[in-house]
Every structure is written in structure tokens, then in C-alpha cells.
Amino acid sequence: MQRSLTIALDMMGGDYGPRSSIPAAVEAVHLHNSLTLILCGNETLIEEQLSRLDALQHPRLKIKHCTQIVTNADEPAYALRNKKDASMRVALDLVKSGEAQACVSSGNTGALFAIAHYVLKMLPGIKRPALISTVPTQTKRPVYLLDLGANVHCDAHTLYQFGIMGTVVAREAQDIEYPKVSLLNIGSEDIKGHEGIKAAAKLMSSCNTINYTGYSEGSDIFSGKADVIVCEGFVGNVALKTCEGIAKLIMHKMTKALKKHLLYRGLALLLMPVIKKIYKKVNPDQYNGASLVGLRGIVVKSHGNASASAFLAAINEAVKEVQRQLPEKIQAAFAENEPTPDTSAENS
């Protein structure tokens, strides 16, 4: 890592708060020697965890005391209006003011989405932000799936814009010149999707930035035939969480089957590391962060019951996005394709 960079962390989110976010922060400054972290949250709790790890005096770990916490029970609109000194809000404000180049949180997704949208605003010409993450495939490269739940329903133009954003993210992260973009649809032998998807396919086909390669079905997600798969948030969220569920089920059935026979019980001990490694890989929601793209700033969301290693993975993702200058690259792609002067009226 060359340039020095600063990331604001919401220390109070997720099921474990500072107990998982502090070990991750300490590890992150060890890994990246020009990284400074601003730890937003309750000063007492943060100091307690820091001193446990002998990191209270670390010069690149700075505490920003906040008096409020956004809980999982908070409605997004309520959190936005009433929690202006919450760790999540303060971390986003630091990105807005330029004191930090990115924000990482494992807190309430709906609130994070609403506050980030309000504080950071959209990049010019972009209608809606999207939550994007990778899913493993049978090839060496993962596939980028968006939207994962930031927008329940999406019109054709929004899906098309997600195609551009997904292209930029995959291109920058995976170093692919023309990432293959696909729209998630139901089987071509079934009723062939709704009008919105057909219209999005048309828009994508006629866009120079997007290497549109047709529809994918749910079963194609993991085949590696596409680098980016676009769908509306409801569908993407269900698909991602279905992966999580089925991976858990397979683990459960496999463990049970292996333990059933004495012969297999011995094998199970040998095989468990292999099975667990695969489980981690197919359970991306848990182990990678998801990024909110389309905003004038970098926001990475870690899973709500993220461990320290998952929170660290989210910090690492934020570091990479800063280095890749992701918002600037997205903005440049939109300037080429949709040279709208400004749509800030839409972004309020």
C-alpha cells in the first residue's frame, strides 16, 4: 500500500459490537502500515477492548466518541432523523467531510442504506445505489451479484445502471477488461420474465460499457458463465440468503451422515476442515463484505453477526476500494454513458 488512507469504522454495529470490531481494527492497522482508522462509538467500551489488546496507544487508531447507537430495531427513517450522534452516522459524516475515505459498518442494513444515501448523496446521473457482493463459482473468479436488497423493486433503467456499476466493480477488482454481464431471469422455457427485465436487456445490449451476454437462471449463478449478474434487491437478497441456507443444510446433512457410521466418523474428523473451507466459500454473505455502490463515497457493509475476521475482510475491501478509486471510476463510466448534467433533484 502506497498512499496513506483513513477509514471510519462504526464500532457499535452487529451482534458483537466492539468485541468483534476492535480485534479487526487492531489487525487491520498491523496489516496496512499507512492505514489510519477512526473508531466511532462509545469511548469507554472501545478503550476497554483496546487495552485488552494492548493497543490503546496505537498512533493510527483514533477514537471518536459517539453518544448514540443505531440498533437493529430502529426504523431507517427514525435512525436518520433521531440518531445524529450514532456511531454509524458519525462514521458516514466523516466520509462526507473528507476526513475519512471510506466507512465500514456491520449495523442495521436499512438504516445504513438510508443514512448513507442521505449523507453522501448519489453520484451524478445515478438513480439508486446498489448493494453488491461476490458469490463463488466453479471457475477461479467469483461473480458479482447486485442488487442484494438495497432496492426491493427496480425498473428497467435502474437495472441497466446496475449493469454499468457492476461492470466497473468487476473490471477494477478482477482486472477483466470486458466483464460479462447477465440479467437474472426465470428459465427461458418458463414464462420468460417480466417486461422490466426485457427492457433492461435491451438497454444493456445497446450500451458500449456493458458486455451484455443474456439471461442467467438461478442455477447459472455459480457456473462462472457471467462476471456480473444483475437483479432487483428482493430477488438478489433471497438468492444470497438461499445460498446461506442451503450451505448450512448441506453441512448439517453431511455431518449427520458422516457421524452415523463409525467408519465415517473417523473420516469426518479428517474431512471437516475441507468441508468447512467449502462452507465458508459458499457462504459469502458471512465472510465478505457487501459494498453500497453509486454513492459519492465508499461504504462497506459487514454481516450483522460478523466475526472479527469477517469485519477485517470488510475493512480490507474498503481499503481496496479506496485504492481503486471506485466512486471516481463509476462516475467516469456514467459520464460516458449518461452525460446527464446532474440529477441531484432525484437524490434527495
Binding site for a second copy (CB under 8 A): 72, 76, 108-110, 113, 136-138, 149-153, 184, 186-187, 189-194, 217-223, 231, 233-235, 237-250, 252-254, 257-258, 263-264, 267, 270-271, 274-275, 277-278, 281-282, 304
Q: Toward a second copy, which CB reaches closer, 125 or 233?
A: 233
Report in angstroms how near the CB of residue 170 gets to a second copy at its nearest.
19
Contact status, residue 212 vs residue 199, Cβ threshold 8 Å: no
3-class DSSP state of 228: strand
Closest contact distance (angstroms) between CB of 58 and a second copy is 32
C-beta closer to a second copy: residue 56 or 275: 275
Q: How many CB atoms lie within 10 A of CB 17?
A: 21
CB of 117 closer than 8 Å to CB of 137: no
- Residue 111 beta carbon to a second copy: minimum distance, rounded to whole angstroms: 9
> Which is closer to a second copy, CB of 29 or CB of 115?
115
| Complex with a second copy: residue 56 or 250, whichever CB lies closer | 250
User: Please, which residue, 35 or 221, has the CB nearer to a second copy?
Assistant: 221
Helix (H) / strand (E) element for 62: namely strand 61-65
Residue of 91, 69, 70 whose CA lies nearest to 297? 91
User: Cβ closer to a second copy: 171 or 303?
Assistant: 303
Q: Of the candidates 127, 124, 192, which has an alpha carbon nearest to the alpha carbon of residue 159?
A: 127
Backbone angles phi, psi at 134, to 5 degrees: -100, 155
Decide: 145 and 224 in contact? Cβ < 8 Å.
no
In the complex, the smallest distance separating the C-beta of residue 167 from a second copy, rounded to whole angstroms, is: 22
**Residue 51 or 242: which CB sits closer to a second copy?**
242
Q: Which is nearer to a second copy, 280 or 320 (CB)?
A: 280
Q: Minimal distance in Å, beta carbon 172 to a second copy?
A: 25
Q: What is the DSSP string of 289-342?
A: -EEEESBSSEEEE--TT--HHHHHHHHHHHHHHHHHTHHHHHHHHHHHH---S-
Question: Quick one: which of 325, 327, 316, 320 has its CA closest to 292?
Answer: 327
* Buried residues in 106-126 as b, exposed as e (16+ CB within 10 A): bbbbbbbbbbbbbbbbbbbbb
Enumerate residues 6+ apart whose C-beta is below 8 A from 202: 156
- C-alpha dist (Å) from residue 240 to 80, 85, 286: 27, 32, 10
Whether 216 contacts 182, CB under 8 Å: yes
Of 63 and 254, which has the nearer Cβ to a second copy? 254
